[in-house]
Structure 1
Amino acid sequence: MAADDIAGLIREAIPDAVVEITDLAGDGDHYAAKVISESFRGLSRVRQHQAVYAALGGRMGGVLHALQLTTAVPT
Structure 2
Amino acid sequence: MVALAQVEDMIKAQLPDAQVVVRDLTGGGDHLEAIVVSAEFEGKTMIKQHQIVYGALQDAMDSEAIHALALKTYTPQAWEAARQ
TM-score for both structures, normalised by structure 2 = 0.84
Q: Which runs of 5+ in 2 are unaligned?
A: 78-84
Structure 1: 5+ residue stretches without partners: none
The count of corresponding residues between Structure 1 and Structure 2 is 75
Q: How big is the alpha-carbon RMSD for the aligned residues of Structure 1 and Structure 2?
A: 1.0
Give the match for residue 76 of structure 2: 74
Q: In 2, distance between residues paired with 1:66 and 1:9?
A: 16
CA separation in 1, counterparts of 2:61 and 2:49? 16
- CA deviations on 1:3-62 (whole Å, 9 max, x unpaired) are 111000000110000000011011111110000000000000000000000011332251
Q: Structure 1 runs of 4+ off > 6 angstroms?
A: none
Q: Does the residue aligned with 1:59 lie in a helix, a strand or coil? A: helix
Residues 33-44 of structure 1: pairs in structure 2 closer than 5 A = 33-44=34-45
Structure 1 residue identity aligned to 2:18: A
Q: Which residue of 1 aligns with 2:66?
A: 64
Larger radius of gyration, structure 1 or 2? 2
Question: Hey, which of these two has a bigger chunk of helix by percent?
Answer: 2
